[in-house]
Chains A and B, each alone.
Chain A
C-alpha cells in the first residue's frame, strides 16, 4: 500500500506542477485500490476483534497461552477492556451480587447432569472440595455449572437418556 501511495503522491505532484492531466486516471485508479486495501484490512481486523470477543464467552476470563500467543498487544488490551466492561455490566444486574450471564447459554433442564468423559483429564474439583478423577469413558453425575466449561472444551459429553 505504501508503494502505491508513494507512486500516487509523485504523480499528483507532477500533475499539479506540470499540468499533465493524463496522469489523473492513473492517480484515481491507484487511489481506489488504496481505498479497497484499506477496507479489506479493516474488515480483517474487525473480524479478529469479534472472534476475540467470542473467546471471552467460550473460555472465560483467562485465555490459554496458545491463543494469547497469536494476539497482538493492542488486541490483548482490547480484550482486557472488554472483559472489564462485561464484568461491570454483569455486576450491575441481579441485585447485589450480579449475575454471570456467560453460564447457562441454553435453558437448563435440571440441576445435575450426567456426563461422560471423552478424554483422560485427571482430577477435577467439585464444590465441596473433594475431587473426581476424570478418566476416559467414566460417567459422572455432577452439578451443571461445574461441567459447562469442560463440556465446551470437549472433555466431557452430556449424556441424554
Chain B
C-alpha cells in the first residue's frame, strides 16, 4: 500500500527499531541512502546497510538477515516485482520500498500489511482498480449441497437445469473477467519507466521533519541529475523537479546575497546555474569536453573528418584559439572564460544546437572546489562501475558511497579521472561502431554487438555504462544515418560479459524521439523472447531491460525478438 504520511507511518515506526537497508547500485539510490543515513544518525536509529546489485543478491542477503530484523527498507529496488513471492518473508516482517522503477507491481500496491510503498501518489502511476484484478474466491462448487431431499423428481430436474445454467453463466462471466484482467495487466506492465527520484523523496521526508540540511539538499540534487544524465525521466519532469529543488536551494543558501553577512568561503554553498551541457568541462579541457560529450559529438558528427572540421569552425567562430581550448579549463585565460557560456550558446545556436545550456546546480566550498551536479554524477557512476582489479561490487559501492561525503574529496577526484576515461572510451567505441557500420537494422529494431577484442570492452560489461553507451550510440546513429525509417527504431546492444562463461549483457533502448516519454518495452519483450526460445537468460538486474544471455543462444533469441516485435 502507499504510505500517505511518511513521517507517522514510516519514520516514527522505524525510529525505535533496528532496520536493514537494501540499497541498489545506482547513484540515485546512493544519494537517497546518504540522506536516510544522515537522518538515522541524528536520531540514533540502529541500522545495517547491505548493497545489492541484482535480485539474486537481494534474495541471498535477505535469507542471511531475515532472522535478525523485522523492518526492511529497500531503496531503488523491489517495486516492480512481487516481493512477497520472491522473498517469502515471515508474517510480521514489514518492507518499506522507495523505488523509482515503474510500473509498481499490483501485488505490492494492494498488499495492506507487509509492503509499504514510499512513493508519492501524484506521480502518474495509473494503477488498475482493485476489482479489475483481484476477485475473492466465490463458492461455486457447492451446488450439489443445495438440493433438498424429498422433492418431486420433475421439480428437481428443473432446479438442476437452472443450477447448471447458472454455473455456465458464472463460468462465462469469469472467463470474460479473466480475459479483461489479462489485458489490463498487460497494458499496465508493458512499458517500464521511472518516477520521482528516491533522493528527492527522502529529502522531502527530511524537510517535513525540519531536519534537512544543505548537504542533504545537494544529495537530492545529485540524485535528480543522475536521472537526467541516464535519460530516465522526461525533460519536462526534470524541469519541474529542478524548480522544486530551486526553492529549497534559495531557502538554504540565501545568505550570500547580503553583502554584510556573507558566509566564509569554506562553507558549502549551492547555487542554481544555467550552465553548459558539456560533461566535466571545468575539470577537463574545453576541447576534450566538446569531443566527449554525447550532445556535441553527435551533432557535430565528430566520428567523420567533416565533423572535425566543423568543430574547428565552431571554435573559430567563437574566437577561441586552439591552444587555449586544449589547455586545462582552469588555466584558460580569464578574459576568455568570462563570457564563455553566452558565447558558446550563441555559436551553438548557429550550428543547430539549441539546448546547449541546461538548468542545473553547482556546489562550492573552499577556493578550489567547485562541482556541477553532473560532474559528481559521472564521478560516482564511474567509481561504482570501475573495473579495476581486485575490486568487487561491494568494494566499488563503498568507494562510491564515500565519495559523496565532502570529506572524501580525493575519492571524488579519482572518480572524475575514471569518468574521463569512461567518456573517452565511450566516444571512441561509438566512432568505431559508426565507421565500421556495426549498427544493423533487424527489422523492428537496430542491433549492435561489441566484439571481444574491442579496446576498453571490459568497461562496458556493467549495466549502467553499457546503457549509457547504447543511448549515446543511438543518438549518434540517428544523426549519421540518412534512412528516415531507421531513425525511429529502438536499439538492442550486446557486449561480452564474461569470457569463461560465454555470456553477454544485452540492453534494450527505446527509440529516440524529441518528445519521448522514456517508456521502455524491452523488459517484457526480453522475458517473452527468452520463454519462447528457452534461452538461458538471467534477468538479474532491477532494470528489466538489461539481461545476461549465453552467447550461443544469441541468434535464436534475436530471431524470437524480431518476430515478437514485428
Whether A and B are associated in the same complex: the answer reads: yes
Which A residues lie at the B interface, using CB under 8 A?
110-112, 114, 116, 123, 126, 130-133, 135-143, 159-161
**Which of these, B41, B50, B397, B402, contacts A112 with CB under 8 Å?**
B41
**Which of these, B18, B49, B398, B405, contacts A130 with CB under 8 Å?**
B18
Contact residues in B for A142 (Cβ distance below 8 Å): 46
Does residue B55 face the partner (Cβ distance < 8 Å to A)? no
Q: Known contacts being A131-B68, A161-B405, is A137 close to B41, with CB within 8 Å?
A: no
Does residue B65 face the partner (Cβ distance < 8 Å to A)? yes
Contact residues in B for A116 (Cβ distance below 8 Å): 398
Q: How far is the CA of A143 from the CA of B47 in the complex (A)?
A: 11
**A140 & B49 in contact (Cβ 8 Å cutoff):** yes
* Nearest CB in chain A to that of B19: its residue: A141
**A138 & B49 in contact (Cβ 8 Å cutoff):** yes
Q: Which of B37-93 contact A (CB under 8 A)?
A: 37, 40-41, 44-51, 64-65, 68
Contact residues in B for A133 (Cβ distance below 8 Å): 48, 64-65, 68
Contact residues in A for B394 (Cβ distance below 8 Å): 136-138
Q: How far is the CA of A36 from the CA of B300 in the complex (A)?
A: 85
Q: How far is the CA of A130 from the CA of B397 in the complex (A)?
A: 27
Does residue B9 face the partner (Cβ distance < 8 Å to A)? no
Can you list 15 A-B contacts (CB < 8 A)? Answer: A112-B41, A112-B44, A112-B46, A123-B68, A130-B68, A131-B68, A132-B68, A137-B394, A137-B397, A138-B48, A139-B48, A141-B41, A141-B45, A143-B46, A161-B402
| Tally of B interface residues using CB under 8 Å | 23
**A126 & B49 in contact (Cβ 8 Å cutoff):** no
3 closest A-B pairs by CB: A137-B394, A139-B49, A161-B405
Contact residues in A for B41 (Cβ distance below 8 Å): 110, 112, 114, 141
Contact residues in A for B50 (Cβ distance below 8 Å): 135, 138
**A126 & B46 in contact (Cβ 8 Å cutoff):** yes
**Least CB distance, A119 to chain B, in whole angstroms:** 13
Q: Known contacts being A130-B68, A131-B68, is A111 close to B44, with CB within 8 Å?
A: yes
Contact residues in B for A112 (Cβ distance below 8 Å): 41, 44, 46
**B68 & A140 in contact (Cβ 8 Å cutoff):** no
Contact residues in B for A111 (Cβ distance below 8 Å): 44
**B47 & A160 in contact (Cβ 8 Å cutoff):** no
Contact residues in A for B45 (Cβ distance below 8 Å): 141
Does residue B407 face the partner (Cβ distance < 8 Å to A)? yes
**Which of these, B47, B65, B395, contacts A141 with CB under 8 Å?**
B47
Contact residues in B for A132 (Cβ distance below 8 Å): 48, 68
Contact residues in A for B47 (Cβ distance below 8 Å): 140-141
**Least CB distance, B206 to chain A, in whole angstroms:** 16
Q: Which of B387-426 contact A (CB under 8 A)?
A: 392, 394-395, 397-398, 402, 405, 407
* Nearest CB in chain A to that of B401: its residue: A139
* Nearest CB in chain B to that of A160: its residue: B407
Contact residues in A for B398 (Cβ distance below 8 Å): 116, 137, 139
* Nearest CB in chain A to that of B21: its residue: A139
Q: How far is the CA of A140 from the CA of B402 in the complex (A)?
A: 14
**Least CB distance, B383 to chain A, in whole angstroms:** 14
Contact residues in A for B46 (Cβ distance below 8 Å): 112, 126, 140-143
Contact residues in B for A138 (Cβ distance below 8 Å): 48-51, 394
* Nearest CB in chain B to that of A112: its residue: B44
* Nearest CB in chain B to that of A116: its residue: B398
Given pairs A123-B68, A131-B68, 11 additional interface contacts (CB within 8 A): A114-B41, A116-B398, A130-B68, A132-B68, A136-B394, A140-B47, A141-B46, A141-B47, A141-B48, A143-B46, A159-B402
**Least CB distance, A128 to chain B, in whole angstroms:** 8
Q: How far is the CA of A140 from the CA of B392 in the complex (A)?
A: 19
Q: How far is the CA of A112 from the CA of B40 in the complex (A)?
A: 10
**Least CB distance, B301 to chain A, in whole angstroms:** 44
Contact residues in A for B51 (Cβ distance below 8 Å): 137-138
**Least CB distance, B388 to chain A, in whole angstroms:** 16
Q: How far is the CA of A138 from the CA of B50 in the complex (A)?
A: 5
Contact residues in B for A123 (Cβ distance below 8 Å): 68
Q: How far is the CA of A123 from the CA of B402 in the complex (A)?
A: 25
Q: How far is the CA of A110 from the CA of B394 in the complex (A)?
A: 27
* Nearest CB in chain A to that of B50: its residue: A138
Contact residues in B for A110 (Cβ distance below 8 Å): 41
Q: How far is the CA of A136 from the CA of B394 in the complex (A)?
A: 8
**Least CB distance, A72 to chain B, in whole angstroms:** 42
**Least CB distance, B11 to chain A, in whole angstroms:** 15
Q: How far is the CA of A90 from the CA of B150 in the complex (A)?
A: 93
Contact residues in A for B65 (Cβ distance below 8 Å): 133
* Nearest CB in chain B to that of A143: its residue: B46
Q: How far is the CA of A136 from the CA of B51 in the complex (A)?
A: 11
Contact residues in A for B64 (Cβ distance below 8 Å): 133, 135
Contact residues in B for A143 (Cβ distance below 8 Å): 46
Contact residues in B for A141 (Cβ distance below 8 Å): 37, 40-41, 45-48
